[in-house]
C-alpha cells in the first residue's frame, strides 16, 4: 500500500513544520509506516537562546518599541522576504547538458522518443554481440550496487532533518540475478499484458501498479511503453511521459531477489546440505530463486512472464531509484504512462450523479481511464472499510448497466483483498445468470464487483484521466516564477492565441520532483489557473483547488478562436523539516558522488525548461532602462559636483572677503599713523625746541610701535628698557650743539626714517594684498570642461563602489545582528509550464495554438506601471467567492455586475 495523501490538508497553508507522510506497503499486509523524526520547534515559536542572544533581542525590542506599530509591521515584512529571490538551477559544476539541451515541441514527442529508444537498443545489441557479452547497465547496475553496499539503486538522497536513514533504507533484497538465471522459460508477454498479471512487490508503488491495471483494459497502451528489447542480450528500452514530453530509458535484465545466493546463505545452506540431495544448490535455487515468486519487487502472476518487473525497474531508474517511486497517485501514474491529463473528482462534489454515470463512468476505457481511492482525509482506526483498504489505489476495470443494475468492476493491485459487501464474491446477489452475464469467477484475486451506489458511498475520490489520440495537437511553454508569501494571482501570466474554435484542455503544471528526489528543496507548491478573454475582468473558467494531486491543475472547455489570458496562482508552502538543496549537495558530495551526479543531472535538465530567455522587447527595455538609470545617476553626481563647487566657491569668497577687510583696516591704521608723523614733522620744522624732545620721544615711541607691529619685538623691548647713561646723554647733547645748523636735518631724518618704516610697511601690506587679490576667486564660478566632469564622475562612482563593498564586508554589530527572518528569508521560486491540447481532427492544421509568457516590465517607471495596471490589472481581480470581492468592485450596479459576469452573459 502506498500513500495517496498529499500535503497535510488540515495544516497551515503558508508554513508547515512536518512533511507529507508516505506509506510503504508489502504484498501481504496494508501496513503504513511514516518516516520517524524528532519534533523540532516550530520556526516561529519561542526557541532556547543564550543570554547574549537574549540581550541582543532585548535591545532590538526596546528599539522597536520606540517605533510606530505600522513601522514595526513594515520593517517585519521588509526583512521577511529575500531581496535576492531565486533558486539553484544547476547542481553539477559546469553542467553543459542543461545549457545545450534544446527545448522540444510536444507534437511528435512520443514518436521521437520511440525512435531514439530503438536506436539505443540497436546500438547496445550491436556492441554486445561484437564483444560476446550480455548487456550490463553501468548507470543502474543492481548486482554491483548491492554487493558493494552502495545502495544507490535502492535509496534516495537523504534530505530530512534529524533522520539519518535515507528513503529506501528499509529495502533488503538479498541478491540480484539476470532474467535468464531466474526464469526457466522467460517470456516478456504471455497472452498480452492484463490486469491479472499485476502483483505488487515490497515497494510502496501501489499507485503505479493500479495505473498499470487500468491501462491493461485498453489494448495497446502498455505495449507502446516497451518499444524495443532483446532477451538474449538482456537489454530493454521503455518510454515514459515526463513534464509534457516523452523520454526514453534503457535497462539491463538484472532483478532483485528475496533470498541470497546459495553460497552466501548460511542457515539455508546448512539445511540443504544436511538433506544430502544430489544437487542441493540447484534445489535451493528452484525453491528460493526461481521464477516470478522469487522476485523482491513487482512480479507477474504467471511464473514465466517478465514485462512487469522490468517495466518497474526501468521506471525506478528513470526516477533515480526504487525509493523514489514509493507513494503517489494512480492518476499521476496513468499520466506518466499515457501522456494523458488527470482530474481529481471528490464524490461529495458530484453535482449530477446521473450525468457522471452516463457521460463519464460508462465511457471508461474509451475517452477516460478511472482510478479510485478512499481514506483520502486520513486513515481511520480500522484501516479498511468492508475489505476496502484505506490510503490505497484501485483501478476501475468496467462499468455496466444491465437489467437496471449499475455495477462497476474494480481491481486491487495487490492481487488479493476484496470488497465484502453487496455483489462481492459469494454474496447473495450472485446467481448463475449474473455470473454468466458479467463473465465473473469467484476467487481471492483482487478482482471484484461493486454497485454504483456503494462505490460512491465507500470511495471518496476518483482520478479521471483523459486520453489523447492523433486528433489532438499540443503546445507548451515553461517559465520560472518567483512566488511571494502573499497569495494572489501572479503578475506573470500566459497569453493564449487560438486560430480555430474547438475543445481545449489547458494544463498548468510544475516540475515532477520525483525525478530529482532529495533535491526538491523546502518549498512545495499548489497551483491554480483562471482563463479570461484578453483584457476582460470576468473569467470564463477556473481550475479546481488541488487538495491531493498538486503536480498540475487543468480545465476543459469549448473555446472560440481569439486571444485569451491565462492567469496563474502559485501557493508556496515551506517544510521546515526538509534540508535545503544546497545543504543536501554539501552532505552528499563526498560520500555519494555517483548518486549526486545522476540526480543532479536530472535536476539540471528539468530546471533548464524554466530558463528565462530575454526577448527583443525586454532587451530593448533593459538597455533603455540601464541607459536612463546611468544618465540619471550621472546627472545626480554632476549636480552633487556642482553643488560642492558652489559651496567651495562661496567659502573661498567669504575667506577672501575677510582677508580684504583685515587689509583695509591695516591700511587705515597705517594712514592714521602717517598723518600723525606728518604733523610732528611740521612741528619739528617750525624750530620749537621744547617740541623737539617731544618729537624725539614720540618718534622713538612710534618707532617702537611700528617695529612692534612689523617685526622684531625683542629688539624693540631692548631699546625701550635700556636707559642712556649720563655720559652718553652729555655726548649726544654736545654733538647736537655742535651741529646746531644741521639739527633740523637730523630731526627731519629721524622723522623721515619713521615715515619710511610706515611707508614700507604700508607698501608691503599693499603688495601682499595685491598679490592675494591677484589670485582671488572671481565672483562668477568657472565652468568645467566635459573631460573634467567625466573624471569627477568616475571618481565619485569609484568611491560609491568602494563604500558599498566595505559596507557589505563589514560585520554587523551586536544590535545589527539579523533576526531569524533575515537569516533565512522567504525565497520560493517555482518552475511551471502551460500545456494546451486542442482537437483539430484528421488533416487539420496542428499549429492552431500559440503561447507566450507575459512578464511584467521590471524597468517600467511609476507612470508606465500605472498604465499597465489599468490595462491588465482587471484580469488579476479577486475570485467571485473571495470575501473581499465586494470591496474591490467599483461603479454602479451595472458596472459591478458586469465585472463579475461580463457584458455579454445573461444573469440567471
The predicted-structure confidence for 325-363, as pLDDT tens digits, reads as follows 999 999 999 999 999 999 999 999 999 999 999 999 999
Q: Within a domain: residue 639?
A: no
Number of domains in the chain: 3
pLDDT band at 619 (very low <50, low <70, confident <90, very high): confident
pLDDT digits (tens, 9 = 90+) for 498-545: 999 999 999 999 999 999 999 999 999 999 999 999 988 888 999 988
Shared domain for 318 and 251, answered yes or no, is yes
Q: Within a domain: residue 523?
A: yes
Shared domain for 590 and 534, answered yes or no, is yes
Task: Residue 327: give the domain boundaries.
Answer: 108-258+295-335
Shared domain for 482 and 584, answered yes or no, is yes
pLDDT of 59? 60
pLDDT band at 814 (very low <50, low <70, confident <90, very high): low
What is the number of alpha carbons within 13 Å of residue 121 lying toward its C-beta?
Answer: 25
From 304, 335, 366, give the residue that closes a domain: 335
What is the number of alpha carbons within 13 Å of residue 134 lying toward its C-beta?
Answer: 16
Shared domain for 540 and 442, answered yes or no, is no
Active site residue 314: no
Q: Is the pLDDT of residue 184 over 70?
A: yes
From 465, 484, 504, give the residue that closes a domain: 465
Looking up cell 512566488, which residue turns up? 483
Q: Within a domain: residue 178?
A: yes
Measured CA distances, 768 to 667, 771, 775 (Å): 12, 5, 11
pLDDT of 356? 95
How far apart, in whole angstroms, are the C-alpha atoms of residue 143 and residue 177?
A: 7
689: closest CA among 727, 756, 736? Answer: 736
Q: Within a domain: residue 822?
A: no
DSSP E strand stretches across 729-868: 828-839, 849-854
Shared domain for 540 and 392, answered yes or no, is no
Q: Which three cell numbers stand for residue 617?
A: 522587447
DSSP E strand stretches across 520-589: 523-533, 539-542, 552-559, 562-575
Query: Bigger pLDDT: 15 or 810?
Result: 810
Q: What end-to-end distance do the CA atoms of the chain give, in Å?
A: 47
Measured CA distances, 451 to 332, 373, 594, 612 (Å): 26, 15, 52, 51
| Average of per-residue pLDDT across 218-232 | 95
Q: Within a domain: residue 412?
A: yes
829: closest CA among 612, 518, 544? Answer: 612
Q: Within a domain: residue 323?
A: yes
Q: What is the DSSP string of 715-753?
A: HHHHHHH-PPPHHHHHHHHHHHHHTTTTHHHHHHHHHHH
pLDDT digits (tens, 9 = 90+) for 632-656: 888 888 888 888 888 888 888 888 8
Q: Pick the catalytic residue from 365, 412, 554, 827.
A: 412
Active site residue 302: no
| Average of per-residue pLDDT across 669-692 | 79
- Find the CATH number of the domain harbouring 573: 2.60.120.380
How far apart, in whole angstroms, are the C-alpha atoms of residue 260 and residue 271?
A: 14
Residue 411, SS3 per DSSP: strand
Looking up cell 540475478, which residue turns up? 177
Q: Is the pLDDT of residue 96 over 70?
A: no
Q: Within a domain: residue 846?
A: yes
Residue 352 has φ and ψ, to the nearest 5°, of: -115, 105
pLDDT digits (tens, 9 = 90+) for 897-906: 666 666 555 4
pLDDT digits (tens, 9 = 90+) for 119-141: 999 999 999 999 999 999 999 99
pLDDT of 182? 96
Q: Which three cell numbers stand for residue 109?
A: 514527442
Which helix (H) or strand (E) element contains residue 9? none
pLDDT of 768? 45
Q: Pick the catalytic residue from 392, 490, 524, 607.
A: 392
From 445, 465, 485, give the residue that closes a domain: 465
Shared domain for 128 and 247, answered yes or no, is yes
pLDDT digits (tens, 9 = 90+) for 587-599: 999 889 999 999 9
Shared domain for 459 and 480, answered yes or no, is no
Shared domain for 344 and 328, answered yes or no, is no
- Find the CATH number of the domain harbouring 373: 3.90.70.10
Which pTM value belongs to this model?
Answer: 0.75
Q: What is the DSSP string of 756-774?
A: HHHHHHHHHHHHHHHHHHH
Contact criterion met (CB below 8 Å) for 526 and 550: yes
DSSP state, residue 711: S
Q: Which among 144-148, 606-610, 729-733 has the top mean pLDDT?
A: 144-148
pLDDT digits (tens, 9 = 90+) for 21-72: 444 444 344 433 333 333 443 443 333 444 455 565 666 655 555 677 777 6
Which helix (H) or strand (E) element contains residue 369? strand 368-374
Q: Within a domain: residue 767?
A: no
Q: Pick the catalytic residue from 206, 226, 300, 573.
A: 206
How far apart, in whole angstroms, are the C-alpha atoms of residue 405 and residue 419?
A: 18
What value does the CA radius of gyration of the chain take, rounded to a whole number of Å? 47
How far apart, in whole angstroms, are the C-alpha atoms of residue 141 and residue 254?
A: 8
Shared domain for 375 and 522, answered yes or no, is no
Shared domain for 455 and 551, answered yes or no, is no
Classify 878 in phi/psi space as left (phi over 0), alpha (psi -120 to 50) or beta. beta
DSSP state, residue 264: G
In sequence order, what are the beta bridge partners of 555?
Answer: 506
Active site residue 392: yes
SS (H, E, C) 134-202: CCCCCCCCHHHHHHCCCCCCCCCCCCECCCCCCCCCCCCCCEEEEHHHHCCCCECCCCCCCHHHEECCC
Shared domain for 119 and 246, answered yes or no, is yes
Shared domain for 533 and 593, answered yes or no, is yes
Contacts of 812 (CB under 8 A, 6+ apart): 818
Measured CA distances, 746 to 536, 731, 749 (Å): 114, 16, 5
Amino acid at each position: 500500500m502506498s500513500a495517496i495523501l498529499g500535503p497535510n490538508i488540515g495544516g497551515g497553508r503558508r508554513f508547515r513544520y512536518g512533511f507529507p507522510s508516505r506509506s510503504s506497503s508489502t504484498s501481504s499486509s496494508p501496513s503504513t509506516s511514516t518516516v520517524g523524526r524528532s519534533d523540532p520547534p516550530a520556526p516561529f515559536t519561542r526557541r532556547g537562546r543564550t543570554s547574549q542572544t537574549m540581550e541582543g533581542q532585548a535591545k532590538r525590542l526596546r528599539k522597536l518599541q520606540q517605533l510606530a506599530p505600522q513601522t514595526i509591521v513594515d520593517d517585519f515584512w521588509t526583512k521577511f522576504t529575500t531581496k535576492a529571490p531565486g533558486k539553484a538551477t544547476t547542481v553539477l559544476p559546469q553542467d553543459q547538458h542543461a545549457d545545450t539541451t534544446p527545448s522540444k515541441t510536444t507534437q511528435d514527442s512520443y514518436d521521437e522518443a520511440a525512435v531514439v529508444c530503438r536506436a539505443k537498443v540497436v546500438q547496445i545489441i550491436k556492441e554486445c554481440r561484437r564483444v560476446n557479452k550480455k548487456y550490463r547497465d553501468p548507470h543502474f547496475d543492481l548486482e554491483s550496487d548491492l554487493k558493494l553496499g552502495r545502495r544507490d539503486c535502492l535509496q534516495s538522497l537523504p534530505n530530512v532533518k534529524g533522520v539519518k536513514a535515507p528513503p529506501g533504507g528499509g529495502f533488503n533484497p538479498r541478491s540480484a540475478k539476470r532474467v535468464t538465471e531466474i526464469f526457466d522459460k522467460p517470456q516478456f508477454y504471455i497472452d498480452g499484458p492484463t490486469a491479472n498479471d499485476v502483483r505488487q512487490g515490497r515497494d510502496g508503488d501501489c499507485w503505479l501498479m493500479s495505473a498499470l491495471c487500468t491501462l491493461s483494459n485498453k489494448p495497446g497502451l502498455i505495449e507502446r511503453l516497451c518499444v524495443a528489447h532483446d532477451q538474449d542480450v538482456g537489454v530493454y528500452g521503455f518510454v515514459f511521459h515526463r513534464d509534457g514530453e516523452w523520454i526514453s530509458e534503457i535497462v539491463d535484465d538484472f532483478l532483485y531477489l528475496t533470498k541470497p545466493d546459495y553460497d552466501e546463505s548460511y542457515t539455508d545452506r546448512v539445511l540443504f546440505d544436511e538433506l544430502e540431495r544430489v544437487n542441493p544448490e540447484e534445489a535451493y535455487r528452484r525453491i528460493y530463486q526461481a521464477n516470478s515468486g522469487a522476485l523482491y519487487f513487482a512480479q507477474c502472476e504467471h511464473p514465466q512472464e517478465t514485462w512487469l518487473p522490468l517495466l518497474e525497474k526501468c521506471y525506478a531508474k528513470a526516477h533515480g531509484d526504487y525509493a523514489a517511486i514509493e507513494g503517489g497517485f494512480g492518476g499521476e501514474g496513468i499520466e506518466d504512462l499515457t501522456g494523458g491529463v488527470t482530474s481529481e473528482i471528490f464524490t461529495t462534489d458530484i453535482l449530477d450523479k446521473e450525468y457522471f454515470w452516463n457521460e463519464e463512468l460508462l465511457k471508461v476505457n474509451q475517452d477516460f481511464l478511472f482510478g479510485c481511492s478512499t481514506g483520502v482525509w486520513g486513515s481511520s482506526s480500522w484501516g479498511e472499510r468492508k475489505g476496502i483498504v484505506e490510503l490505497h489505489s484501485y483501478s476501475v476495470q468496467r462499468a455496466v448497466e444491465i437489467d437496471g443494475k449499475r455495477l462497476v468492476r474494480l481491481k486491487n493491485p495487490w492481487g488479493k483483498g476484496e470488497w465484502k459487501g453487496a455483489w462481492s464474491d459469494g454474496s447473495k446477489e450472485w446467481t448463475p445468470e449474473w455470473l454468466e452475464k458479467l463473465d465473473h469467477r469467484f476467487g481471492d484475486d483482487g478482482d471484484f464487483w461493486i454497485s454504483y451506489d456503494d462505490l460512491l458511498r465507500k470511495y471518496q475520490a476518483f482520478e479521471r484521466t483523459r486520453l489523447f489520440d492523433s486528433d489532438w495537437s499540443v503546445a507548451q511553454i515553461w517559465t520560472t516564477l518567483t512566488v511571494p508569501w502573499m497569495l494572489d494571482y501572479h503578475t506573470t501570466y500566459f497569453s493564449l492565441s487560438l486560430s480555430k474554435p474547438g475543445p481545449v484542455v489547458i494544463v498548468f503544471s510544475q516540475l515532477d520532483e520525483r525525478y530529482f528526489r532529495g533535491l526538491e528543496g523546502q518549498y512545495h507548491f499548489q497551483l491554480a489557473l483562471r482563463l479570461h478573454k484578453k483584457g476582460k475582468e470576468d473569467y470564463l473558467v477556473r481550475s479546481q483547488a488541488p487538495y491531493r494531486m498538486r503536480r498540475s491543475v487543468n480545465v476543459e472547455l469549448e473555446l472560440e478562436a481569439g486571444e485569451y489570458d491565462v492567469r496563474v496562482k502559485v501557493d508556496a508552502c515551506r517544510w521546515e523539516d526538509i534540508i535545503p538543496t544546497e545543504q543536501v549537495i554539501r552532505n552528499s558530495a563526498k560520500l555519494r558522488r555517483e548518486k549526486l551526479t545522476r540526480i543532479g543531472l536530472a535536476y539540471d535538465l528539468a530546471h533548464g525548461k524554466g530558463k528565462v530567455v530575454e526577448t527583443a522587447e525586454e532587451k530593448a527595455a533593459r538597455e533603455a532602462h540601464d541607459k536612463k538609470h546611468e544618465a540619471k545617476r550621472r546627472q545626480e553626481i554632476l549636480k552633487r559636483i556642482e553643488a560642492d563647487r558652489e559651496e567651495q566657491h562661496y567659502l573661498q569668497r567669504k575667506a577672501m572677503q575677510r582677508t580684504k577687510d583685515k587689509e583695509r583696516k591695516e591700511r587705515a591704521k597705517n594712514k592714521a599713523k602717517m598723518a600723525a608723523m606728518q604733523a610732528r614733522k611740521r612741528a619739528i620744522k617750525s624750530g620749537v625746541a621744547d617740541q623737539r624732545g617731544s618729537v624725539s620721544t614720540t618718534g622713538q615711541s612710534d618707532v617702537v610701535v611700528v617695529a612692534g607691529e612689523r617685526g622684531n619685538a625683542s629688539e624693540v623691548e631692548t631699546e625701550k628698557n635700556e636707559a642712556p647713561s649720563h655720559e652718553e646723554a652729555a655726548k649726544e647733547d654736545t654733538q647736537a650743539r655742535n651741529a646746531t645748523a644741521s639739527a633740523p636735518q637730523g630731526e627731519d631724518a629721524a622723522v623721515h626714517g619713521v615715515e619710511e618704516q610706515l611707508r614700507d610697511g604700508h607698501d608691503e601690506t599693499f603688495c601682499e594684498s595685491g598679490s592675494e587679490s591677484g589670485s582671488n576667486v572671481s565672483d562668477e564660478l568657472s565652468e568645467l570642461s566635459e573631460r573634467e566632469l567625466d573624471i569627477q564622475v568616475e571618481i565619485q562612482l569609484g568611491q560609491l563602489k568602494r563604500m558599498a563593498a566595505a559596507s557589505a564586508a563589514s560585520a554587523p554589530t551586536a544590535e545589527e545582528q539579523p533576526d531569524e527572518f533575515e537569516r533565512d528569508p522567504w525565497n520560493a521560486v517555482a518552475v511551471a509550464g502551460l500545456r494546451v491540447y486542442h482537437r483539430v481532427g484528421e488533416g487539420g492544421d496542428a499549429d492552431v495554438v500559440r503561447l507566450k509568457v507575459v512578464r511584467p516590465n521590471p524597468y517600467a517607471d511609476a507612470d508606465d506601471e500605472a498604465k499597465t495596471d489599468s490595462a491588465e490589472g482587471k484580469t488579476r481581480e479577486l475570485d467571485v467567492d473571495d470575501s473581499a470581492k465586494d470591496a474591490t468592485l467599483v461603479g454602479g450596479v451595472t458596472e459591478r455586475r458586469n465585472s463579475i459576469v461580463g457584458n455579454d452573459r445573461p444573469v440567471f
